[in-house]
Structures are given as C-alpha cells and as structure tokens.
Amino acid sequence: MITLGHYVMLSALLFIIGVAGVLTRRNAIVILMSIELMLNASNLAFVAFSRFHGLLEGQVISFFVIALAAAEATVGLAIVVAIFRKQGTIDLGHFKFLRG
C-alpha cells in the first residue's frame, strides 16, 4: 500500500538531491537541472497532497510551477549562453563579479 508518506518522502529526497546539486556542482547547466529537480520535487508533493485530500488546488499550482520552470529555464539558459560567449566557460567557480 503506497501512502502519502511515501510520496512526501520521495519528494523530500528529490529536493535534497536538488539542493545538493545546486550547492556542490560547478557546471551552470547542471545547476539549472538541479533547480528543475527541486521544482519537480515540490510538484510531486503538490500533486500527491491534491490526490490524497481530494482537492484540486495542488494540481493547479503544479501547472503554474511547470510554466514558471519553463520560463526560468529559458532565461537561465540565455544567461548561461551569454556568459559563455563572454568568458568562454560556464564553470561557476570563475564567476566572482559580486565579490566585495
């Protein structure tokens, strides 16, 4: 029997993997992918809650999240391309423009 707990556990696991990816990886594209992973982890949780409680709001929000994720991926990839053109690398370790 698969319970809500299983879904939430899986969602949390995916989210943590995403966080770990954002924090540890150097490649900008992998980081974008990790962010997608975190978004999808939350989507999973939303849909699971929606299904188990018989409410539709969770599914609606997950659609919003998908739309936003698409937009974010577009902008993010555009920035990555622009940076690559300028610097010739997408290794985030090289980008320290914000240094004080």
Tell me the three state secondary structure of residue 89.
coil
**Maximum Cα–Cα distance for the chain, whole Å?**
54
The residue type of 24 is T
With contacts defined by CB under 8 A, name the span among 21-29, 46-54, 57-65, 77-85 that binds another protein.
21-29
**Window 22 to 51, contacts with another protein (CB under 8 A):** 22-24
Interaction of residue 86 with another protein, rule CB under 8 A: no
With contacts defined by CB under 8 A, name the span among 39-47, 54-62, 74-82, 91-99 that binds another protein.
91-99
Spatial contact of 92 and 28, defined as CB atoms under 8 Å apart: yes
